[in-house]
Each structure stands twice: as structure tokens, then as C-alpha cells.
Structure 1
Amino acid sequence: MGRLRVAGLGVASLSVIAMSVACGSGKSEADKAAQARAKASNMAAAASERKAETQIAARVKANELGQIPVIMYHRIIEKPPPGDDRTPAQFRAELERLAKENYVPITAAEYVTGKIGIPAGKHPVVLTFDDSSPSQLTLDGMGNPKPDTAVGILMDVAKKNPGFRPVATFYVIRDLFGMAKPEEQIQVLGWLKDHGFDIGNHTRDHLNLLGKDEKEVEDQIAAGQSLITTLIKTPPVTLALPYGNQPRNKKWAMQGSAGNVKYDYRGVFLAGYTPAPSPYTKDFDPVGIPRIRSKEKVGDCVKFCSAAWLDWLNANPNDRYTSDGNANTVAFPKFKAPFVAAPFANRALPY
């Protein structure tokens, strides 16, 4: 009898095990089916979203492989001598033109890192200021930019033109906006940082790096790096070369060190000449990014300064960067696909 009871229990146990396996198997199949349905649903949603993104890109004629004006400014003063300085009225007029022609300012750091998030149909422009002069930014007794400075004018134009971002990049040297005390220097750089402006390196002493040896190049760039990071603790992302002159080895400007200070930039800017390539193209060269001098059509500026190049971009819209409104995609007409840089291929949205 004992053996029969054991046998009976064994049969019963086997039955339970079999049923459990069957139930477990059924649940697994159900899970697989649910996962398959979810996957199909997600794929359908992704396809629908991509279709909508492509339609928007096509509608606004997006071309995120197009050229971007990087405009170079120096002092903004009432009576500028011949050269690169501009009057407040000239500077304001250029900003108003940019706003009217659907440009949206971005920083140099945003440009070189490919983080260009502006509305669909708009065009990025990078406003850069060299030499950190008081005419670019001076704060009043309440910590606000004086209205006749470059920042004051930019803030006013942005206020009157919603969507025109009041951002720019300041390439600073040891003459930090005319501020001599470290506390004052911290105030002015801190104000820029807190208000979304970008601070770049222009070397400490504005030394022409042409023909200099590696040590002297690295000493100057590292000294400029230290000048900034000592005051605001935020390392600059880009460098603008004094006078636009590259060192004998271009890579010395991108990476190097002096003492215990290291620098590793994402982009190095020249002094002027042409619009810059999109950071998403194979033409983008971070060791030598061109800028445009701000100037009307006079002398050699008839063809090669801001008024001339803005006219050219306006007359050649297919060569200008136009946003699709989505910072996660790189939209362009299909035939331009061969120009997409490999790191951005997975973000490509041809139409």
C-alpha cells in the first residue's frame, strides 16, 4: 500500500508539473505576442513621427548642411577709426537686419558641438566679439548692461524681436572689459555666464602666434585658459586666434598644455573671410573655422564682409543653413546626402 501511495503522489506531482510547464509556456507565448505588438506599434509610431518630421523639413526647405555666418566684432564706439570697429547705430542696424531675415543667434560652443536648436525655417548666426573691451559690456551700479554697449544693444533688439536670442560669444584677453580688480572681473564674466552668453579664449596677451614655437603658443593659450577658469570655473569650448593667424602646427591651437593647465578645444576660429560650413558636413574643419568681418560694402568688403555675405546668402537660400526645428535631426534635400559627416549619419533626415 505504501508503494501505491508513493506512486500515486508521484503521478499527481508529475501532473502538476506538466500543468505548470504548460501554463508557463502559455504565459511566455502571450508575453512574446504582447512584445511583438508593442514593437510593431512603436515602429509604426516612429515611422509616423519620421514622416511628419520629413514633411516639416520639406515644407520649410530645411538645409542643415548649409553655410552659417559667424560674424566678428571688436569695439562698438561712436567714432571708430578705420578698421574693424563699428558704431552703436551700425551694430544695431546689422542686428535688426539679422532679425528681419530670420536669423537666430547661437553661441560658438553650440555651433562647434552641433547643438543647434532653433525654430523651423530659421537660420543660425554666431555673433563673436574679440578683445573684451568695455564698449562690449559695462555693467551699471545695479549690475545691468549699459544701453550703449554691445550687450545692451543686443538685449534691446532681442526684446523688440521675439525669438531673436540675446546670446553671443566673447573672446577675452587679460584686459577683461577694462576691469582691473578680480572681483570686478568675476562680476562681468559671471553676468555673461548667468545670462547664457559664451566665453571663449583669445589668449592672455593677444599675441600673434604666427611663427612662434610650440612652447610659446601653448604658454599663451594656456594662460588665457587659466585666466577664464580661475574666475568662473567654466573652461572655454573654443579659441579665436589673435589676428586670425594660425601657428606653424595648427593642432597646437586645439590641444596642448603649459604647467598644470591643459586645454582641449572643439573649435578654433580665424579672423574673417567667408561664411562657415555646417558642423554636420564633411567640410567642417575645427582647426580653422572662418568668420566674417562686420562691415558695409566698401573697399575689399565689397565682397568679403558681413553686408556683402548676408546679401549673398539671401540671394542663394539653397546654400544657407535653414533649420527643420528639431535639434535631434539633420535635415537636407536628398541629393546633398554625400556631404553628411559620419558622426551625424544616424541623425540624417533627407527629404
Structure 2
Amino acid sequence: MLTRILGVANAVVITIAIAALLLLPTAGEPTVGRTAAVGTAKPSQDPQATPAAKPDLPSSDLPPAVNATPEFAKQVKANELGLVPVLMYHRIMKKRFASIDRTPSQVRQELEKLARQGYVPITAKEFVTGDIRVPAGKFPVVLTFDDGHASHFALDGGGMPKKDTAVGIIYDVARKYPGFRPVATFWINHYPFGLRRQEDQAAAVRWLTERGFEVANHTWSHPNLAVLPKKKVKEQIVRLERLLKKLGAPASDTLALPFGSMPHPKKIAKAGSWDGTDYDVEGVFLAGAEPSFSPYAKNFDAGAIQRIQSNGKRGECRKWCSQYWLEWLNKHPGERFVSDGDPQRISIPRKTEGNIAVKRRAQLNAY
């Protein structure tokens, strides 16, 4: 489908991202003793006391599966070798200070548009492992948030997600559009969600993971891994893995590269060991700038997964960011991943069966 060279495209976005992040104001950094992100002013507001499910929060339960036959797959126009948008968000700010910032209104409008168009969120882990349980005829989308910023998750005085945080916005959209599954992936550094105290960090991570969100590795201090020695790269990944373990999160199945910069050799981003601790992730995610290949496709590279920066169509984003690509996918529906609703089968038009990964051929349901 795409003839442009992915490496060049990604390099463009990496350069832009590095420049933008270097300009971020210090006001966006966590402060010592900050606990507002999880609302710990009163014991009753501590996420530890919040049950795993609340009646006023939409459920992240997976939809029931169907048994897809070739006839059914054709009827819903299933194409599970199609492209999947993996959207990349950073800070959510009422006033944008950098090009990669988004306002709450911009995030809300984009998510509502996705819901109206038939997209259903899945986590990065579900995507990379091929556990794509999206209703028949619908399209998966992966919502990812980098850096664990305080604008991604915070609770109000009643123990509910604050309105203009990422989690608050996701739940609002899910209430308005019940088919919009409220899940996302948060890739964190060593002060997740602006919190300094480990007990507050653990409470935040527990609140999210109990409700279907993924919290995973974005390295300890967000360095440019491309310029670090191998040992330092491994240290950055392991130190964050150790923190996640202390906070009660499962070992990371996914990792987002800071600035999208790949270490050398590439393989150490996916698996390695430092100071007696091993790590082994299923998927490594870049910083842009195109939709990802399906995890069932033979040309899918789990060690370098494309993402799309959430943004409009101005400047460098004219052909690389979310508005452009979501419009492109709408104009080229034959290129988009369309689910058959059956997680046990991979349904595709027969003319494309040569593109399926060898290890997935036993699941093939061609029509």
C-alpha cells in the first residue's frame, strides 16, 4: 500500500519530536511531594479503596466473539491484514506550549470522531500479541500516551477520573458511544503521572491496570537510546521494569522508544539483561509516522512498530499526523484493518492471502 520509505518517514518525526520536547516548559514537570494526580487528600480518595469496577464507569470487558465463516467474513468486508492506526499522545494542556501538545478539546474531538467512524480501542499489548477482539465490521485503534504526564491520569475528590485528563476524556467518550471500549496504553518514566511518592504511584498504576489499561516501559529517564552504549540502554529499560514491579504492574509486554530513537543493536530494545534482571517485550514502538501493518502480516516488524502523532494537517503534519491518516484510511477503506469478530480466525480477501505471516496461516479464513 505504501511506497514511501518508512525509515525516512520515521526519522522526520523523530527529529521534530526531539526539537519539540527540548522546548517543553518546566511547568509540565512533576514537583516534589506532588500527589494531586491520584487525589490522596482523604483516605476515601485513595485508589486503593476504589473497587475494580464502578457502575458509573463504562466497562472495558471484551465483546463476545462470533464464529466467522468465509461467507460471514465477506458480508462484513473483513480485512485483518489491513493497516491499524496506533495514535501517539503526549501532554494534554489547555494551552499548548509545544507542537506535540494537545488540548482536552482536541483529544475529545478526535476520540469522538474515531467512535463515530467505528473504531474500537485496544491496548498496545493486545495489538502486538494479535489478541484483537473487536466486533465484526469494526476497526481497531491503539491509543498510546507517552511519558506518564500528570495530564494523563488524576482523580477528583470523589475518586473519579478528572474531566480533562486522558482517562477522564476516554471514559466520557465511552459513555457517549457505548461501543468505544475505554482502554489505552500509558508508557511511563520514573515519575509516573507526576507523582513522587511510591505509594501514590502504586495506587495510580493499580487503579489503571484493574480497569483494563496497560502501563508499561518508556525507559527510566527518557534518554535518546541511539547515542547510549548498550549497557546504558539495558540499564534504562531494567530500572523502569524494576519500578513497575514495585508498583504492582505486570512485566512490560511493550516498550515505547523515547523520541522514537532505536538503540544499536536494534535487538536490545526488545530483550536483554542488566544487573541480574532480564527483560523481554513483545513489541517495540517508534514515534511515527504511518499506520502500522497488521500483526498478522508477514511484513509486520514487532521490533519497530509505527505510530501516528495526534495532530492536525499543518506544517510537518501535512502528511504524517493523525488528521491526515484518519482521512486517508476513510478514503481507502480497502487498506484498513476490518475485524471479523472472531479472535480464533484471520479473515481476509483471498487475493491477499500471500501476505499473511507463516505462523498465522493455520488461522486463515479467506473468502
In structure 1, what is the Cα distance between the partners aligned to 2:116 and 2:320? Answer: 21
1:223-262, CA deviations, whole angstroms, 9 ceiling, x for partnerless residues? 1111111111411100000000000111010001111221
1:61 aligns with 2:106: no
State the Cα RMSD in Å: 1.1
1:88 aligns with 2:88: no
Which of the pair is proportionally richer in helix? 1
In structure 2, what is the Cα distance between the partners aligned to 1:296 and 1:258? Answer: 40
Query: What does residue 302 of structure 2 align with?
Result: 286
Q: Where in structure 2 are the equivalents of 1:66-145 lying within 5 Å?
A: 66-145=82-161
1:248 aligns with 2:264: yes
1:238 aligns with 2:268: no
Larger Rg: 1
Query: What does residue 201 of structure 2 align with?
Result: 185
Q: Aligned AA for 2:157? A: G
Residues 234 and 198 (structure 1), Cα distance of their counterparts in 2 relative to 1, 3 Å cut: same
In structure 2, what is the Cα distance between the partners aligned to 1:178 and 1:300? Answer: 30
Query: What does residue 324 of structure 1 align with?
Result: 340
In structure 2, what is the Cα distance between the partners aligned to 1:118 and 1:154? Answer: 17
Comparing 140-149 with 71-80, greater Cα deviation is found at: 140-149
In structure 2, what is the Cα distance between the partners aligned to 1:102 and 1:74? Answer: 24
Q: Aligned AA for 1:308? A: Y
Of the three residues 232, 236, 240, the one matched with 1:224 is 240
In structure 2, what is the Cα distance between the partners aligned to 1:147 and 1:339? Answer: 43
In structure 2, what is the Cα distance between the partners aligned to 1:106 and 1:95? Answer: 13
Query: What does residue 212 of structure 2 align with?
Result: 196
1:210 aligns with 2:226: yes
Offset at residue 191 of structure 1 (A): 0.6
**What are the ranges of 5 or more consecutive residues in structure 1 without an aligned counterpart?**
1-48
Taking structure 2 as the reference length, the TM-score comes to 0.81
Contact 1:139 1:188 in 2 (8 A): no
Offset at residue 183 of structure 1 (A): 0.9
Taking structure 1 as the reference length, the TM-score comes to 0.84
Q: Aligned AA for 2:317? A: C
In structure 2, what is the Cα distance between the partners aligned to 1:297 and 1:203? Answer: 30
Offset at residue 144 of structure 1 (A): 1.8
Offset at residue 178 of structure 1 (A): 1.1
1:14-54, CA deviations, whole angstroms, 9 ceiling, x for partnerless residues? xxxxxxxxxxxxxxxxxxxxxxxxxxxxxxxxxxx97x621
Q: Secondary structure at the match of 2:347?
A: strand
In structure 1, what is the Cα distance between the partners aligned to 2:152 and 2:174? Answer: 16
Q: Aligned AA for 2:283? A: G
Q: Where in structure 2 are the equivalents of 1:269-348 lying within 5 Å?
A: 269-348=285-364
Q: Secondary structure at the match of 1:300?
A: helix
Query: What does residue 273 of structure 2 align with?
Result: 257
Contact 2:209 2:249 in 1 (8 A): no
1:171 aligns with 2:187: yes
Q: Aligned AA for 2:174? A: A
1:258-294, CA deviations, whole angstroms, 9 ceiling, x for partnerless residues? 1122100000000010000000001110110010000
**What are the ranges of 5 or more consecutive residues in structure 2 without an aligned counterpart?**
1-65
Q: Aligned AA for 1:261? A: T
Q: How many residues align?
A: 302
In structure 1, what is the Cα distance between the partners aligned to 2:77 and 2:138? Answer: 10
